[in-house]
């Protein structure tokens, strides 16, 4: 499927058939995420693939909307705070220098910043949420192109979901993405007009 068609056809899908999502397709979804761009190439996204029915049932406790646990597959999209430590940032930056993407001069400017040495000292930079958002949308569009439906879900109890999944403290779940073969075919949802989104041409 061409990109234009995937953009056109994508909808938030909240009803799925019982058919499981084949392993090869899950791999394709993860490959689409892996190729996403990120600030200083940090790639701080991590994904937990939940297919186990018991685990999905337990997760219901931390999720407001029931359709999520009814999907054959839930991709728990997380950020890993290890990626924001000096050690890993330097690793990524040196790779960019080797790939002729970044100059030593720019790298040195980055290194002068106060970067956390330990994962316990890290916060989550705003740009990391952008990185994760891009990776999630890569998955969403790839899913559409493979005939799968998905829905971004932010309405969930982060703490409860972390507990149920026994996620380590440095892994923060940010988005849940239920994925499955669509059992509905909704038409396009309302959108504001072009005039409203374009502030102007200067
Ligand atoms: C960041 C984000 C968070 C969202 N959270 C939820 C959610 O918690 N539950 C839900 O049912 N839909 C959620 N959605 C889906 C939106 O409701 C949906 O994208 C919007 O209504 C437009 O519909 P469409 O995606 O079919 O075009 C979310 C979408 C985004 C991008």
What's the CATH code of the domain at 135?
Answer: 3.40.109.10
The finding on whether 65 has its CB within 6 A of some atom of ligand 1 is yes
Q: What pLDDT is stored for residue 1 in this prediction?
A: 76
Under DSSP, the state recorded for 188 is P
Q: Is residue 175 part of a domain?
A: yes
C-alpha neighbours within 13 Å on the C-beta side of residue 77 = 29
Q: What pLDDT is stored for residue 94 in this prediction?
A: 97
d(C-alpha 191, C-alpha 202), whole Å? 24
Residue 42 domain boundaries: 3-197
The finding on whether 153 has its CB within 6 A of some atom of ligand 1 is yes
Q: Is residue 202 part of a domain?
A: no
pTM of the model: 0.97
Q: What are the CA-CA distances from residue 166 to residues 35, 64, 117, 129 (Å)? A: 27, 19, 25, 22
User: Could you read off the pLDDT of 39-95 as tens digits, one per residue?
Assistant: 999 999 999 999 999 999 999 999 989 999 999 999 999 999 999 999 999 999 999
Q: Is residue 153 part of a domain?
A: yes
Q: What pLDDT is stored for residue 164 in this prediction?
A: 98
Q: Is residue 88 part of a domain?
A: yes
Contact 137, 143 (CB under 8 A): no
Q: Is residue 34 part of a domain?
A: yes
The pairing of strands 73-80 and 149-150 is unpaired
Q: Is residue 146 part of a domain?
A: yes
The finding on whether 140 has its CB within 6 A of some atom of ligand 1 is no
Count of domains for the chain: 1
Burial code (b: 16+ CB inside 10 Å, e: under 16) for 144-161 equals: bbbebbbbbbeebeeeeb
Q: Is residue 136 part of a domain?
A: yes
């Amino acid at each position: 499927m061409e990109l234009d068609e995937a953009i056109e056809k994508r909808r938030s899908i909240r009803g799925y058939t019982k058919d499981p999502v084949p392993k090869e397709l899950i791999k394709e979804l993860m490959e689409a995420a892996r190729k996403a761009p990120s600030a200083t190439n940090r790639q701080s996204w991590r994904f937990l693939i939940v297919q186990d029915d018991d685990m999905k049932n337990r997760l219901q406790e931390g999720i407001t909307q029931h359709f999520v646990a009814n999907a054959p597959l839930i991709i728990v999209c997380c950020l890993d705070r290890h990626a924001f430590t000096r050690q890993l940032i330097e690793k990524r930056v040196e790779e960019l220098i080797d790939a002729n993407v970044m100059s030593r001069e720019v790298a040195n400017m980055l290194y002068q910043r106060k970067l956390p040495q330990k994962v316990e000292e890290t916060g989550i930079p705003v740009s990391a949420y952008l990185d994760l958002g891009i990776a999630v949308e890569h998955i969403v569009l790839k899913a559409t192109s493979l005939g799968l439906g998905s829905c971004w879900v932010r309405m969930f109890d982060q703490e409860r979901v972390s507990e149920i999944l026994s996620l380590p403290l440095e892994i923060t779940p940010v988005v849940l993405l239920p994925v499955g073969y669509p059992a509905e075919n909704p038409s396009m949802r309302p959108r504001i007009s072009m005039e409203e989104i374009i502030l102007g041409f200067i």
